[in-house]
Structure 1
Amino acid sequence: MKFFLFTITLLFTLNSFAQSTLKFVNPSSVATPKGYSQTAQIDLGNTTMLLIAGQVPLDKQGNLIGKDDFEKQTTQVFSNIKNIIEEAGGNMNHLAKITIFIKDVSKIQVVREVRDKFINTQTPPASTLVEVSNLYRSDVMIEIEATAVIPKK
């Protein structure tokens, strides 16, 4: 019986801890998605870890930016990431990791050129790039998910 009560108490405590340290947020600077959250914010004490859902080239009203223009799409995606991080109280220097999904790996130089306008090129974030056969819409050419670690003020 004591073990059972201990287990129940432990589970309740862990659940309360998880609820107080984890928030799901849809920032106002990007389109509100259907069925998921744009960010998961994890309170780590002195910092907040921001897990950013894959960003696509949509403006905050949900309109595609840069139809058939890979550079414009990439710029919109990085703008979305920047806006999300800033809305959470950080800046692009707090970007820790990006994962880039593109349909055409031959466009990697365009990705690098646009990325370098947004990040600190002296201390760039960890990065992975994957070529994929398709993304969630046929007119979307790039998607980037990101992780940021933002110090608390």
Structure 2
Amino acid sequence: MNELEINAGLAPTENYQYAQQVGAQLFVAGQVPYDSEANLVGTDVAKAQARQCLNNLRTLITLYGFKERDIRLLKIYVVGEQQNLLDAWKGVTEWFENDVPPATLLGVARLGYEGQLLEIDATVISEDSQ
């Protein structure tokens, strides 16, 4: 994590690299539902956590000079019962206004933080490079 990411509004996270740019590609580590002060957003609400993860993703890719349309692949990790997966997917589809890039929705046993239901990672490739 660097000062640029903190100043952009991403939560300070020790020993964590948010993204790595290789040419026209940006490989994004899992975005978590934390606000800029490292507070969990949407406790027990998968849809709200999905929105926060995607808002963090937008902040990050914009910081690196990419656009939302450059998101080429999402992986969405969800803790809990089937309803959490459905609610998370609803949050994702609403955020993308029903035009979601290729995505994989996965149910998992747990994630890194207490109360965290979602994590979203992405591969981003600049449209301008094609």
TM range (shorter): 0.7 to 0.9
- Residue 96 of structure 1 deviates from its aligned partner by 0.5
Give the unaligned 5+ runs of structure 1.
Answer: 1-23
Q: Which residue of structure 2 lines up, in the alignment, with residue 7 of structure 1?
A: none
Q: Which residue of structure 2 lines up, in the alignment, with residue 140 of structure 1?
A: 116
- Residue 59 of structure 1 deviates from its aligned partner by 0.8
Query: Which has the larger Rg?
Result: 1
Which of 128, 132, 136 aligns to 2:104? It is 128
Greater than 4 Å deviation, 4+ residue runs: none
Asked if the contact 2:72/2:101 (under 8 Å) is kept, the reply is yes
Matched, 1:36 2:13: no
Which of structures 1 and 2 has the larger relative contact order (alpha carbons within 8 angstroms, sep 6+)? 2
RMSD: 2.2
Alignment of 1:1-153 (within 5 A): 27=5, 28-43=8-23, 48-106=24-82, 107-119=84-96, 121-122=98-99, 124-151=100-127
Give the unaligned 5+ runs of structure 2.
Answer: none
Give me the TM-score of the superposition, normalised by structure 2: 0.83
- Residue 121 of structure 1 deviates from its aligned partner by 3.7
